[in-house]
Structure 1
Amino acid sequence: MKESLSRPVSQSLKEYARGITGGLLFSFPLLYTMEMWWAGFIASPAQLMLLVAVTYLLLLGYNRFAGMREDASWRSVFVDSVEEMGIGIALSFCVLLILNRITLYDMSVEEVMSKVVIEAMAVSIGVSVGTAQLGVNKEEDEQGSDSLKAEGGGQRGNQDRGKVATAVLALCGAILVGGNVAPTEEILMIAVEAEPVHVLLMALVSLLLGTVVVYFSDFKGTSPKMSGHLAYTILYDTCISYLIALGASAFVLWFFGRFDNMSFWNAFAQCITLGVIASLGASAGRLLIK
């Protein structure tokens, strides 16, 4: 709380502006997607509660490992995550109202809340990314660098938590990028019409793209000490990112009811199909939102 109160009003307004911009930038496709409106109409209260819980955990992870203030306390992380979710709800309500997707006179409160909550969870992740990454000024950047130097061994601490941070960023990136496509009918159509060879090719392309992104994002200018283990590290990070992307794909597809009355093969093919996009988001997360 002290950290929030100590920031000047102008800086707080800039953070809110960044959050609103990021929320709209990363979530406008979902706000204009018919399947998302229907998902809000048919989602059960238990599903909505689960979605809110998962989204809040993602916000906590992102704000902790990739937020704007690396020296922020856990209390500040919790507060920031709640604020971002609140902004996401407000943005979703306003945009859906403007688009006439919700009405206040002939629509039940439950339906309005369901549609707003479904959209707000994606918007809130964009708010978090925008707050942390859009237009960080030099003073904030220098303060973060000075705090890490003052820790004495900050680099080692970053290495120790690097795997957890990479996994969290991969999950955020997979859901943020793959979630824009998951509700659409095209994923189901591609998966149902795909032959085994197409599914295999999609998986191989996903791994190839992940390898390229991992190599050029984390290992450009790698120190000589790490060069001996470079191939292993790239392979390890690529596989972890791809597994996280497939897990995120399975979750969002299940949430939108894409596995209902489906055979195992069709469900698996849908995961691989969406995994092409989600894996790119997971691997490129370190480039786009780190």
Structure 2
Amino acid sequence: MSSESNSRPVHKSLKEYARGITGGLLFSFPLLYTMEVWWAGFIAEPLDLMVLVAVTYLLLLGYNRFAGMHPEASWKHVFINSVEEMGIGLLISFGVLLMLNRIQLTDMSIDEVMGKVIIEAMAVSIGVSIGTAQLGTKEDNKDKTEQQSDERRTKLGFFVLGICGAIVVGGNVAPTEEIIMIAVEAAPGHILAMAIVSLFISVVVVFFSNFKGTVSKSKKLLFFDMAFDTCVSYVTSLGVSAFVLWFFGRFDGVSFWVAFQHVIVLGVLASLGASAGRLLIK
């Protein structure tokens, strides 16, 4: 850890915490108000919660490495930042659920309280991480952008940020009943159309939108880059969709085709997050 990081003024640290709290609420409030997530916390098994915590922590490590608060920080500092963000996420989730009367300290078992708080906190903690990196002023982010631009343009950097973007965008609707209804009622033609639109979204966002973070491509490499990045983005979105749907029990007792439909339906939103998220959330 550099001496600059060690001597960071208190008021800057407080501003970062404020941005983190704001980001946690901004990106996760829909989940905090979603009944299906409360139910998932009620029935969640300890092993499921451990898997969720581990996956979320790995995502925080990746996000903080490529788009974190302190670009000059060592891996040790990245580890500490990620733990802090999970802690803030737990506190925010506990406070909001208590305010909404979704948890009662006297009438609920400790298992139910912990399940609801932990599931909500994992989404909140990702929002906290994004908030600390995104909601600062231009002056706050100037040095960060200059020092991290090369790292973020690596394939690994795009992949990690794509996962975070897919979870932030797709995770808000993954546990809802609407995904099930759309998937079950969709005909094969609808599923094919959704897949094509998802790929189209990825191509448009990354190569033709002129969003912040897009990189100019050589004409000779344009087709290869377009095909490669689009495939990576879509596969990432499908992988994230499958994991989130599996965690919320959407694959229990259904055939492979129905599960596949669920993934494609959610993949429309997740693909937007995986493509636009990796460009905007950094």
Q: 1:220 to 1:101 in 2, by over 3 A?
A: closer
Deviation at 1:286, TM superposition (A): 2.4
For 1:246-285, what per-residue CA distance to the aligned partner results, in whole angstroms no more than 9, with x for missing partners?
0000000000000011011100000000000001000011
> Aligned residue for 2:90?
89
Deviation at 1:4, TM superposition (A): 5.0
Asked if the contact 2:59/2:160 (under 8 Å) is kept, the reply is: yes
Supply the distance in 1 between the matched residues of 2:122 and 2:180 (Cα, whole angstroms): 23
Q: Which amino acid aligns with 2:200?
A: L
For 1:81-121, what per-residue CA distance to the aligned partner results, in whole angstroms no more than 9, with x for missing partners?
00000000000000000000001111111110110000000
For 1:209-266, what per-residue CA distance to the aligned partner results, in whole angstroms no more than 9, with x for missing partners?
110011134785726xx22101210221111010010000000000000001101110
Report whether the alignment pairs 1:158 with 2:160: no
Supply the distance in 2 between the matched residues of 1:252 and 1:60 (Cα, whole angstroms): 19
Q: 1:142 to 1:34 in 2, by over 3 A?
A: closer
Supply the distance in 2 between the matched residues of 1:285 and 1:85 (Cα, whole angstroms): 21
Supply the distance in 1 between the matched residues of 2:102 and 2:215 (Cα, whole angstroms): 49
Q: Which amino acid aligns with 2:120?
A: E
TM-score under structure 2 normalisation? Answer: 0.94
Q: Which amino acid aligns with 2:195?
A: A
Find runs of 4+ consecutive structure 1 residues off by over 3 angstroms: 1-5, 140-146, 217-221
Deviation at 1:46, TM superposition (A): 0.1
Q: Which amino acid aligns with 2:68?
A: G
Report whether the alignment pairs 1:141 with 2:141: yes
Supply the distance in 2 between the matched residues of 1:94 and 1:86 (Cα, whole angstroms): 12
Report whether the alignment pairs 1:235 with 2:227: yes
Q: Which amino acid aligns with 2:11?
A: S
Q: Structure 1: which 5+ residue stretches go unaligned?
A: 149-153
Q: Structure 2: which 5+ residue stretches go unaligned?
A: none
Pairwise CA RMSD: 1.8
Supply the distance in 2 between the matched residues of 1:136 and 1:130 (Cα, whole angstroms): 12
Deviation at 1:72, TM superposition (A): 1.7
Q: Indicate which of 242, 246, 252 corresponds to 1:250.
A: 242
> Aligned residue for 1:114?
115
> Aligned residue for 1:58?
59
* Paired residue total: 279
Identical positions, percent: 66
Q: Indicate which of 184, 201, 216 corresponds to 1:209.
A: 201
Supply the distance in 2 between the matched residues of 1:252 and 1:166 (Cα, whole angstroms): 20
Q: 1:3 to 1:265 in 2, by over 3 A?
A: farther
